[in-house]
C-alpha cells in the first residue's frame, strides 16, 4: 500500500443504493492488533420510515455507508476513560480514549448495534452492555474489551438498552420475529435471569433510557411504520407503559437519556437534542440543543460537558459540547461500518 495503515475508498454513495465497499488488505496494526474488515456490500432500503440494511431493520434514520479506515493506534496512555462507537450488528465496536486522542485504540470483535452502561449519564463503572452482538443476545463487557456474559431474548431484532441505578437492564425490541410487530421492552432484574416482557404502545421501539427517579422512557413509531414519533413511559413500580405527549413534534426517534437535569430525546432528522421536564403524561420542551456537522447520530451518549455521536450518515463519530451544541469539537478517526451505537465507561 502507498500509505501504511490507511485504505481510501473512492466513489459516492447514495442512501437507498447498493453500496460496494472497496476491497484491500490492511497491514497488521501496531501492538499486534488488526482492523476488522468491512462488510463487502451493504443494501439499504426503506419499509415505511424504517431503514433496512442487508435485510435487517436498524435504528438509524439514514446512512451513507462508505467504510472508513485508519491506522489502529495502540493505547499507551494511562487514561481510564473509554468511548465506544458500535457498528452494524455482529461486526465490531471501535474503542477510543478521548480526549487523550481521537484515534481508534482497539476494538471488540462481534459487537454491534446499541450500547449502554451502569450510569444514567457520564462514564460507566467498569462495564458496558451491547444489544446487537447477535440478534437475540445482549452482552456484558468488562472495560475495555473482555466479554463477561450474555443474556438471551426470544426476539429476533433488538434495538436499545438502558440501565437504572439498581442495575436492572431494559432491552428494546425494534421488530419481532419474521418482521412481526415489535415495540416490546424486556427488563432483566439485576441484569440476570430470563427477563420480563412489557408491551408498549409502540409498533417499533428504537431507544430507551431511565431517569433519576427510576422511570423508564422509550421512543419509536406507533400506528404503523409510516406513522409518527411517539414517546412512552413505564413509571417506576408500574407494569404498564403509558404514552407521553410532547409539547413539540420530534421528526425521527433518537436517543432517550437523562442528562442530570432533563429527560432528553435526540431527533435524528434535525440533529437536535430536546430537553424536557415531565409531569404526568406530558413532556414540556424546555430547551433545544442544535448540532452542525453531524449527518445522522443513530445513538448519542452524554457525559459531563460533552455529547458523543455514533454517526451512521457520516460513517464515523463526532464529539460535541453539551449543552452548547454547535460544530464538533473533535472527529474520531478509525474503522467504522455503519455506526449505530455509542456509550462510554471507565476502568
- Taking Cα atoms as reference points, which of 106, 110, 116 lies closest to residue 32? 106
Pairing status of strand 196-198 against strand 204-210: unpaired
Phi, psi of 191 (to 5 degrees): 55, 45
pLDDT tens profile 111-147: 999 999 999 999 999 999 999 887 678 999 999 999 9
pLDDT tier at 34 (50, 70, 90 boundaries)?
A: very low
Average pLDDT over residues 66-95: 76
Residue 48 has pLDDT above 60, yes or no: yes
Strand partners, 150: 139
If one compares 182 and 340, the residue with the highest pLDDT of the two is 340
pLDDT tens profile 148-193: 999 999 998 999 999 999 999 999 999 988 788 889 999 999 999 9
Mean pLDDT for all residues in the chain: 86
Question: What CATH superfamily is the domain 81-346?
Answer: TolB, C-terminal domain (2.120.10.30)
Handedness of CA 277, 278, 279, 285 (dihedral sign): positive
> In whole angstroms, what is the distance from residue 308 CA to residue 311 CA?
9
Q: What is the pLDDT of residue 249?
A: 95
Full-model pTM: 0.85
pLDDT tens profile 258-277: 999 999 999 999 999 999 99
- Taking Cα atoms as reference points, which of 75, 188, 66 lies closest to residue 131? 188
Q: What is the pLDDT of residue 121?
A: 98
Pairing status of strand 242-246 against strand 229-234: antiparallel
Q: What is the pLDDT of residue 11?
A: 34
Q: Is 191 helix (H, G, I), strand (E, B) or coil?
A: helix
Report the 10 Å Cβ neighbour count for 280: 9
Q: Is 329 helix (H, G, I), strand (E, B) or coil?
A: coil
Q: How many residues does the chain have?
A: 347
333: which 3 cell numbers?
Answer: 478517526
- List Cβ neighbours of 34 (8 Å cut-off, separation of 6 or more): 26, 28, 72
Phi, psi of 190 (to 5 degrees): 55, 30
Taking the CA of residue 295 as centre, how many other CA atoms within 13 Å lie in the half-sphere pointing to its CB? Answer: 18
pLDDT tier at 43 (50, 70, 90 boundaries)?
A: confident
The DSSP code for 174 is E
Residue 5 has pLDDT above 90, yes or no: no
Phi, psi of 95 (to 5 degrees): -105, 140
User: From its phi and psi, is residue 13 left (phi > 0), alpha (psi between -120 and 50) or beta?
Assistant: beta
Amino acid at each position: 500500500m502507498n500509505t501504511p495503515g490507511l485504505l481510501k475508498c473512492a466513489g459516492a454513495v447514495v442512501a437507498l443504493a447498493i453500496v460496494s465497499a472497496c476491497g484491500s488488505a490492511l497491514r497488521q496494526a501496531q501492538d499486534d492488533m488488526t482492523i476488522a474488515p468491512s462488510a463487502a456490500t451493504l443494501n439499504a432500503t426503506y419499509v415505511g420510515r424504517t431503514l433496512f440494511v442487508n435485510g435487517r431493520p436498524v435504528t438509524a434514520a439514514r446512512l451513507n455507508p462508505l467504510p472508513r479506515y485508519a491506522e489502529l493506534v495502540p493505547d499507551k496512555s494511562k487514561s481510564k476513560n473509554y468511548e465506544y462507537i458500535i457498528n452494524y450488528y455482529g461486526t465490531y465496536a471501535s474503542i477510543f480514549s478521548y480526549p487523550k486522542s481521537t484515534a481508534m485504540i482497539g476494538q471488540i470483535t462481534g459487537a454491534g448495534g446499541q450500547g449502554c452502561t451502569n450510569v444514567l449519564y457520564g462514564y460507566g463503572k467498569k462495564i458496558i452492555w451491547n444489544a446487537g452482538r447477535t440478534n437475540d443476545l445482549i452482552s456484558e463487557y468488562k472495560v475495555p474489551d473482555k466479554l463477561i456474559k450474555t443474556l438471551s431474548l426470544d426476539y429476533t431484532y433488538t434495538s436499545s438498552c438502558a440501565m437504572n441505578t439498581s442495575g436492572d437492564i431494559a432491552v428494546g425490541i425494534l421488530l419481532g420475529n419474521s418482521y412481526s410487530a415489535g415495540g416490546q421492552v424486556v427488563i432483566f432484574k439485576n441484569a440476570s435471569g430470563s427477563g420480563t416482557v412489557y408491551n408498549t404502545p409502540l409498533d417499533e421501539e428504537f431507544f430507551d433510557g431511565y431517569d433519576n427517579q427510576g422511570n423508564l422512557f422509550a421512543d419509536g413509531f406507533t400506528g404503523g411504520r409510516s406513522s409518527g414519533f411517539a414517546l412512552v413511559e413505564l413509571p417506576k413500580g408500574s407494569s404498564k407503559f403509558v404514552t407521553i405527549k410532547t409539547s413539540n413534534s420530534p421528526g425521527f426517534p433518537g436517543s432517550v437519556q437523562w442528562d442530570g437535569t432533563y429527560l432528553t430525546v435526540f431527533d435524528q432528522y434535525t440533529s437536535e437534542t430536546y430537553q424536557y421536564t415531565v409531569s404526568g403524561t406530558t413532556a414540556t420542551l424546555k430547551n433545544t440543543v442544535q448540532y452542525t456537522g453531524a449527518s445522522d447520530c443513530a445513538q448519542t451518549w452524554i457525559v459531563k460537558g460533552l455529547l458523543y455521536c455514533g454517526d451512521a450518515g457520516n460513517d464515523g463519530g463526532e464529539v460535541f459540547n453539551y449543552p452548547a451544541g454547535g460544530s464538533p469539537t473533535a472527529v474520531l478517526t478509525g474503522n467504522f461500518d455503519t455506526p449505530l451505537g455509542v456509550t462510554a465507561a471507565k476502568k
